[in-house]
Structure 1
Amino acid sequence: MMVKKRNIKKQRYKTNARLIKSLLVLRGVKLVDLAKEFGITKQYLWYVIHGRRKGERIRKKIAQFLGMPYDQLWGE
């Protein structure tokens, strides 16, 4: 008997990951350094940037760090 795989899609939150990553590169900031500054793991930061986790508090910190309006980065 074969086990049928379920097609489960994980919820994604709206994000502008390319813009965020570009701005970080231009400033010479690595994800690991930013994660340490925020007191979180690099993986969690990556999840927030790519819309896999909501992370409202971290989103606000990223926007403030980059000096960008929250709405422009996260599209809300």
Structure 2
Amino acid sequence: MTNYTEFGAEARKLMLKKSITLTSLAKELGISVTYVSEILKGTRAGDKYRNKIAEIIGMEE
């Protein structure tokens, strides 16, 4: 997966496997889809949300 950090690539794989969309993830986190995408790509740190993202998609960080 291009342009994703290691965390982002793993998260996207799990999201695809579990049919979790960026939109549904963003809604659950209460943030924008753009912000979620930027966290996964590493252009925004998103330290506040990384653990929650991992928890929601069932990822061991």
TM-score tier after normalising by the smaller chain length = 0.7 to 0.9
CA-based RMSD: 1.4
What CA distance in whole angstroms lies between the structure 2 residues aligned with 1:43 and 1:35? 9
Superposed CA deviations along residues 8-61 of structure 1, whole A, max 9, x for unmatched, are xxxxxx543222111001111100111011000000000001111111111011
List alignment gaps of at least 5 residues for structure 2: none
Give the TM-score normalised by the residue count of structure 2.
0.80
Structure exhibiting the larger radius of gyration computed from Cα positions = 1
The percentage of counterpart residues that share the same residue type is: 32
What CA distance in whole angstroms lies between the structure 2 residues aligned with 1:68 and 1:20? 7
Give the TM-score normalised by the residue count of structure 1.
0.66
Counterpart in the other structure of 2:48: 57
List alignment gaps of at least 5 residues for structure 1: 1-13, 71-76
Alignment length (residue pairs): 57
What CA distance in whole angstroms lies between the structure 2 residues aligned with 1:30 and 1:43? 12
